Structure formats: structure tokens, C-alpha cells
């Protein structure tokens, strides 16, 4: 106890002094090459993500949200962590995109570097009637936890189970303020928006990169989910919502993560809800500035960068047109042979999804994306793993009809999709 308090106050002092030196800079360095799974450090080579043995890594996985108001991964009042990770593993998925909110880190700083207990977090998010009930269900399903378990203890346990079952963990900063994402008016849309304090964001990235360094399964982190126009802040929108400022803030974020953990990949997400990244790989001007993407702007970590894009063109009726959108806005980066590709990157479709009925997956959108990912040999994370959220947009125990799993996370919602669509997609893409 004393030991951990001392460690915490040291980190706190360093942070206060304005130089957030990660504890790694004074502890002994971790070995650079791991002889066991996942064989870090990871790096990028052209359009491929690779482990230290040179194996190509392609993520085939699901989003597992932990950025809602309770600020722990969803579903744990219904199933144990081991049961959920076993479900993921059972069909061959090899990765999760685990989301968190910067607010969790802000609260840790505000609370003398102590994280909140899960018990308190359930009460704060769900109220004094439902909070204790759901917390009791959480304990019943996950009996290794107790009244002193913190939110980060739960993240740690998810990561530990993923390591045990060899599921890669991609840690994603989804929001600043913990809540359902995303709208252009939710105050979390862009650097400097109402709840999107840039220095807290950078501090949060450093903290999580440092914290998650002990997770064997961690192989990548993102900077921020779905950047978007700050429509409730006209001045910010006019002055800053552009590729020039994107490039400034993105470099600050990547250098924070890389300084804390040089072994992992870092995902960059684009504008308009992360639907396009064109200037990055085409090497055109970061407008309204004149700067262009340059590896030299990412000292020592240009070979860690991966592009992520999202697609929710669920009403698509023309597959050729959907695929050309995906290519133009992102996947062209995987084609160094395209005359307009100046810098090649791996590209991961880190969100797409659709209602888990027995018919939806047979329509144009889902079949088209599946065939495209297979053709591109690209990674992906479907939205979403779970069949419910502790709370979403004010509704507790919110039913998620897009969830791969049923409301209580016990069974596949559409067995026909899992057998007819999802398993083939995994087989056609997943590597390592």
C-alpha cells in the first residue's frame, strides 16, 4: 500500500512539474524482443502490421465498449470476463478494440492518483437504486472482484484474459467525457471542444499507454475515435476543424504514446467521423496549411503508424460504389503501386456494423464489406460485441440490436450470420 502510494505521488509530482516523465524512463527498460506471444514489439512495413518475428498481423475482431458512464467494459453484470473472451475466441476472432474515456484518467488525477472503485462507479452512473443491484450482479458473475476493485483493475483483468487466450488488445480512446458516442454537438467532437480539453487528452493518452504497458496482449492504441465537426462551437469549427490542426494534434498524441510505450502500433483516425484519410497517404497539403505528411515528423515512430477508418453506409445498394468510396477514402493507402499513394500504410476498418438479424447480413452493405476486406486482406473490428450496455444515452440496460451477442451476452444473436458471414470473414482475413 505504502509502496503504491509512493509510486503514485511520484507520478503526480512529475506531472505537476510539467514534465510527465513516464515511470518507464526511470525503471529498467522492458526487453525489446519477446520470445512469446504476441511477439512484440510490433511495427509497420509498407501496408502490413508485423510482429518482431516478421509475421504479418491482421486483426479480425469486435469492439468492446468501456467508455460509457460506468467506465468499465460492458456486459460484466451478465457474464464473466473469461466467458466473453472465450466466445470471441470460439469463432476465431483474434482481437478486440477496447474503448475507454479520458474522464476516467481525469478523475484519477483529481483523486490523488487513486482510481474509483467499480462499486462507486456503478452508483454514480446508475443511481443508488440500480447501481448496487447491477454491482451485485457484476460480483456474482465475476467473483474474483470485490469492494476494492477499481475500474482499471477490470480493464487489467480483461487484458489478462485476452493474453491467456491470445487475443490482441487494441486500446481506443473513444470519448473525453464518458458517454455514448458520437454526435457533432456532444462537446467531444474536436480538439478544444467543450469537453475535449487537449492537455487532458494528451495526459490521458500518456497515462493509459503507461498503464497498459504491463498488458501482454496490448499491441496497439488509437489517438481518438471519430473526430468530427464541432457544430456547437462555431468559432472552433471555423478556426480549427481542418487537416492542418489535425496534423498538429495527431503528432502530439503519437509522440506521447510512443514515449510511454515504444512497442505498440498507433492508429490515426480521420475527419468526418473517421471516414477519410486521403491527405495522409496521398501526401497532399494539410489544408489550410501547406505542410504535408512526412515520416520525419514522427521521429523514431513513423514505422508504428496505422490508419483506421469507419464505414456505416448501411443503405448501400451498389457494391462497386461502396468499394470505390472505401478505396478512395482509406484503403488506397495499402496500395503503394497506385501512382497517387505517396506513403503506404496498413488500414484497419475499426468500425462497421449492422442489425444482427438473420437477413441483414445478406444485404449489399454487409456482403460488400466482407468481400472487400477479404480482397484487401485488411483488418477490422465490427460494432459491436455485446448485446446491451449498462447505460446508453440515459437508458439503463440498453438493448443493442447490432450486438453479435444477445442481450445477456450469452449466445449469438444471429447464428446464421455467425456461421454464414462472420466465420468466413474471419477465415478470409485473420492473421496471427
Ligand X SMILES: *[C@@H]1O[C@H](CO)[C@@H](O)[C@H](O)[C@H]1NC(C)=O
- Give residues in contact with ligand X (CB under 6 A): 145-146, 148-149, 153, 197, 199-200
Nearest distance from C-beta of residue 298 to ligand X, angstroms? 25
**20 vs 342, which CB is nearer to ligand X?**
20
- Cα(163)–Cα(55) distance, rounded to whole angstroms? 18
**Three cell numbers, residue 237:** 469549427
**146 vs 395, which CB is nearer to ligand X?**
146
**Three cell numbers, residue 212:** 497498459
**95 vs 208, which CB is nearer to ligand X?**
208
**Helix (H), strand (E) at residue 185:** none
Nearest distance from C-beta of residue 84 to ligand X, angstroms? 17
**134 vs 268, which CB is nearer to ligand X?**
134
Nearest distance from C-beta of residue 148 to ligand X, angstroms? 5
Nearest distance from C-beta of residue 118 to ligand X, angstroms? 8
- Cα(159)–Cα(150) distance, rounded to whole angstroms? 15
**249 vs 267, which CB is nearer to ligand X?**
249
Nearest distance from C-beta of residue 147 to ligand X, angstroms? 8
**145 vs 383, which CB is nearer to ligand X?**
145
* C-beta atoms surrounding 26 within 10 Å: 9
Closest CA to 228 of 260, 295, 182, 178: 182
Which residue number has the CB closest to ligand X? Answer: 149
Specify the residue for cell string 512526412: 294
Specify the residue for cell string 486500446: 171
Nearest distance from C-beta of residue 248 to ligand X, angstroms? 15
- Cα(269)–Cα(310) distance, rounded to whole angstroms? 9
DSSP state of 8: H
User: Residues 280, 273: contact at Cβ < 8 Å?
Assistant: no
| Three-state secondary structure call for residue 423 | helix
Nearest distance from C-beta of residue 109 to ligand X, angstroms? 7
Nearest distance from C-beta of residue 190 to ligand X, angstroms? 13
**202 vs 306, which CB is nearer to ligand X?**
202
Pairing outcome for strands 48-50 and 43-45: antiparallel
**200 vs 410, which CB is nearer to ligand X?**
200
DSSP letters for 367-405:
HHHHHHHHHHT-EEEES-S-SEEEEETTEEEEE-TT-SB
Name the packing angle between helices 319-329 and 364-376 (round to 10°): 50
Amino acid at each position: 500500500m505504502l509502496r503504491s502510494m509512493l509510486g503514485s505521488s511520484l507520478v503526480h509530482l512529475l506531472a505537476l512539474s510539467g514534465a510527465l516523465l513516464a515511470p518507464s524512463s526511470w525503471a529498467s527498460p522492458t526487453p525489446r524482443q519477446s520470445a512469446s506471444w504476441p511477439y512484440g514489439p510490433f511495427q509497420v512495413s509498407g501496408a502490413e502490421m508485423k510482429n518482431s518475428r516478421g509475421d504479418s498481423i491482421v486483426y479480425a475482431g469486435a469492439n468492446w465498449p468501456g467508455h460509457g458512464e460506468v467506465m468499465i467494459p460492458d456486459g460484466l453484470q451478465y457474464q464473466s470476463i473469461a466467458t466473453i473472451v472465450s466466445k470471441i475466441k470460439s469463432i476465431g476472432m483474434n482481437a478486440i478494440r477496447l474503448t475507454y474515456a479520458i474522464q476516467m484518467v481525469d478523475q484519477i488525477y483529481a483523486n490523488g492518483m487513486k482510481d474509483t472503485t467499480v462499486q462507486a462507479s456503478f452508483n454514480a452512473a446508475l443511481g443508488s437504486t440500480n447501481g448496487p443491484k447491477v454491482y451485485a450482479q457484476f460480483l456474482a458473475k465475476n467473483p474474483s472482484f470485490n469492494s476494492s476493485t477499481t475500474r482499471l483493475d477490470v480493464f487489467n483483468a480483461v487484458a489478462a484474459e485476452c493474453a491467456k487466450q491470445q487475443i490482441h488488445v487494441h486500446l481506443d480512446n473513444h470519448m473525453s467525457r464518458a458517454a455514448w458516442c458520437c454526435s457533432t454537438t456532444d462537446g467531444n467532437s474536436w480538439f478544444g471542444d467543450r469537453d475535449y480539453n487537449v492537455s487532458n487528452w494528451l495526459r490521458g493518452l500518456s497515462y493509459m499507454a503507461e498503464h497498459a504497458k504491463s498488458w501482454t496482449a496490448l499491441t496497439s492504441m488509437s489517438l481518438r475515435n471519430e473526430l468530427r465537426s464541432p457544430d456547437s462551437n462555431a468559432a472552433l469549427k471555423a478556426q480549427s476543424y481542418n487537416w492542418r490542426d489535425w496534423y498538429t494534434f495527431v503528432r502530439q498524441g503519437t509522440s506521447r504514446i510512443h514515449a510511454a510505450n515504444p512497442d505498440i502500433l498507433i492508429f490515426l483516425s480521420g475527419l468526418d467521423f473517421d471516414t477519410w484519410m486521403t491527405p495522409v497517404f496521398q501526401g497532399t497539403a494539410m489544408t489550410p496549411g501547406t505542410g504535408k505528411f512526412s515520416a520525419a515528423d514522427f521521429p523514431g515512430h513513423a514505422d508504428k503508424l496505422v490508419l483506421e477508418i469507419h464505414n456505416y453506409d448501411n443503405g448501400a445498394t451498389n457494391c462497386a460504389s461502396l468499394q470505390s468510396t472505401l478505396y478512395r477514402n482509406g484503403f488506397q493507402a495499402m496500395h503503394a503501386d497506385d501512382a497517387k499513394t505517396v506513403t503506404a500504410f496498413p488500414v484497419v476498418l475499426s468500425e462497421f456494423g449492422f442489425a444482427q438479424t438473420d437477413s441483414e447480413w445478406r444485404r449489399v452493405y454487409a456482403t460488400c464489406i466482407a468481400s472487400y476486406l477479404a480482397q484487401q486482406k485488411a483488418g477490422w473490428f465490427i460494432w459491436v460485441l455485446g448485446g446491451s450496455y449498462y447505460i446508453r444515452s440515459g437508458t439503463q440496460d440498453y438493448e443493442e440490436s447490432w450486438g453479435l451477442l444477445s442481450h445477456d451476452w450469452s449466445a449469438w444473436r444471429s447464428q446464421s450470420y455467425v456461421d454464414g458471414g462472420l466465420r468466413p470473414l474471419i477465415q478470409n482475413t485473420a492473421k496471427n
